[in-house]
Amino acid sequence: MPEPVSVKVSSRHQISVPRIARERLNIQSGDRLLVDIQDGLLILLPQPESYATRLAGLHREVWEGVDTTAYLKEERDAWDSSADS
């Protein structure tokens, strides 16, 4: 992991995103960042233009070799049988 880069908080509580971070994450002027706080850490993430596009294909490997039609039929059958109970 590269050495951390320090930034200074201005009197208006602003920071500049270091060049190395902008280049690695392809952050451009006008882009929006999501701010998250987890366990005392401030996390900045590029906000995707479209969450649907960003998530498309995520964990595709989970479904490799699975007959999705048969899986869905089995799930729906389970729902139907639980409704009869």
Q: pLDDT confidence of 10, banded at 50, 70, 90?
A: very high
Q: What is the pTM of this model?
A: 0.54
The Cα–Cα gap between 67 and 26 comes to 38
Place of tokens 């952050």: 27
Domain definitions of the chain by residue range = 19-84
Query: Residue with structure tokens 């989970």?
Result: 62
The proportion of the chain whose per-residue pLDDT surpasses 90, expressed as a percent, equals 59
